[in-house]
């Protein structure tokens, strides 16, 4: 099976390479703003918009006269910066025609915008420990052997900076073997006390990283608030705080990746509930705990990993009372409270409420998968083909 996949890992550049990357990001930001300003002025004059390829040719002429400093960097930075601006500009008017109210593309800022640049994949070379980039040469990778050395095709490469660290995302086309998943179906109930419970009785504990790091994060917040805004000490304190939050995010995402990979590889059909996360976040007593669990990221990872490994994902409507329904007799206990951790029914069932909900999700998926005509129902099913088609147009991991 052929897929488009992005491998993102951290670089280990020296000081000269860091300076080069910073200059490359500045060039990409300058060209993006230049192109956006060019098209805005054309629109104000009532002229027909110049295509991005012709605009690239115009900038090449200016490069020879006014912007000779661009010769120090790869030409692909210019090409992709103009293409990205063109995409943002056209998306704005497309959404206007659809009746939406999108925000107009903003000029990129050195302080507030994400520092990144993109180059074509055909001009790079990859080894187990290094990656060769144009104009700068070989750059060391912190994680060896993660990026495939001989993929089918390297589409493009994006280098970005966050909290003083440099990352590279290599988007490739590759062929993955068809996984032989067990022919079974499971329900997965997500929660706060326990991150996930499956219908076959497996419990995945919630790492609660935000709760563990809360004391240190509060101390860093207080430390930052005492600094004079814009000073050197303020920037140092801001960076330390950002790194602390980034560590929490990394641990959480690593845990989610381990769980979703195991489920997608070993199960053939996975049933999850379409949770109303924004509505749940309105509960101020649970909002912090809900954000720490990251339900949306869990589902997002399941969606594309099921497509990779040949599994199917069923999304059950969030109005389905999975927690209040008895998995044995089907009776609904409308008086069930969040504090009731054991589900008790008049039929004699006594079970952990999360496990009961997971079994209900499994039974619901079995029920909706086959409709009255004996054919698969498409209402709650996300097929691998549909997800891969969606991913091809919207993939962005950087």
Give catalytic residue positions: 189, 273, 354
Residue 171 tokens, joined: 């988007």
Q: What's the CA gap between 137 and 174, in Å, rounded?
A: 25
**Beta strands across the sheet bearing 137-140:** 125-126, 130-133, 137-140
3-state percent helix, strand, coil for the chain, nearest multiple of 5: 45, 20, 30
Burial of 61 (0-12, 13-18, 19+ CB in 10 A): exposed
Collapsing DSSP to helix, strand or coil, 187 comes out as: strand
As given in the structure block, the two tokens for residue 364 are 């619901």
Nearest of 390, 387, 206 to residue 314 by alpha carbon: 387
Pairing assessment for the beta strands 267-273 and 182-190 based on DSSP bridges: parallel
Alpha helical stretches, state H, 66-134: 75-97
Distance from C-alpha of 223 to C-alpha of 72, rounded to nearest angstrom: 41
Local structure of 34: helix, strand or coil: helix
Q: Are strands 312-316 and 381-382 parallel, antiparallel or unpaired?
A: antiparallel
Other CB atoms within a 10 A radius of the CB of residue 127 amount to 13
Query: Strand pairing partners for 249?
Result: none
Please name every residue paired with 118 in a beta bridge, in sequence order, or none if there are none.
158
**Paired residues of 182 in beta bridges:** 267
């Amino acid at each position: 099976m052929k897929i488009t996949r992005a491998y993102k890992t951290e670089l280990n550049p020296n000081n000269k390479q860091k300076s080069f990357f910073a200059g490359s990001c500045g060039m990409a930001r300058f060209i993006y703003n230049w192109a956006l300003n060019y098209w805005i002025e054309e629109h104000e004059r009532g002229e027909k918009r110049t295509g991005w390829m012709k605009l690239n040719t115009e900038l090449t002429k200016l490069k020879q006269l006014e912007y000779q400093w661009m010769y120090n960097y790869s030409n692909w930075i210019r090409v992709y910066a103009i293409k990205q601006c063109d995409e943002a500009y056209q998306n704005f008017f497309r959404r206007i025609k659809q009746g939406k109210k999108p925000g107009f593309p903003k000029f990129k800022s050195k302080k507030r915008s994400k520092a990144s640049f993109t180059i074509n994949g055909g001009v790079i070379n990859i080894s187990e420990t290094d990656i060769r980039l144009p104009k700068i040469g070989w750059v060391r990778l912190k994680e060896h052997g993660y990026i495939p050395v001989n993929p089918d095709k390297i589409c493009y490469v994006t280098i970005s900076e966050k909290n003083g660290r440099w990352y590279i995302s290599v988007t490739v086309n590759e062929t993955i073997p068809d996984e032989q998943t067990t022919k079974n179906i499971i329900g997965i109930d997500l929660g706060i006390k326990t991150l996930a419970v499956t219908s076959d009785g497996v419990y995945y504990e919630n790492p609660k990283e935000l709760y563990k790091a809360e004391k240190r994060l509060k101390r860093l917040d207080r430390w930052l608030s005492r600094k004079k805004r814009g000073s050197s000490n303020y920037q140092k304190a801001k960076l330390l705080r950002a790194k602390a939050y980034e560590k929490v995010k990394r641990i959480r995402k690593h845990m989610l990746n381990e769980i979703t990979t195991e489920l997608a590889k070993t199960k053939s059909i996975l049933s999850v509930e379409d949770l109303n996360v924004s509505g749940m976040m309105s509960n101020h007593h649970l909002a912090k705990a809900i954000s720490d669990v990251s339900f949306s990221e869990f589902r997002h990872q399941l969606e594309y990993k099921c497509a990779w490994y040949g599994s199917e994902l069923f999304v059950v409507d969030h109005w389905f009372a999975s927690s209040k329904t008895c998995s044995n007799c089907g009776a609904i206990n409308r008086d069930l409270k969040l504090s009731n951790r054991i589900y008790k029914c008049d039929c004699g069932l006594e079970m952990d409420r999360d496990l009961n909900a997971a079994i209900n999700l499994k039974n619901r998926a079995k029920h909706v998968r086959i409709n009255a005509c004996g054919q698969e129902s498409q209402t709650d099913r996300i097929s691998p083909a549909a997800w891969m088609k969606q991913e091809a147009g919207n993939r962005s991991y950087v």
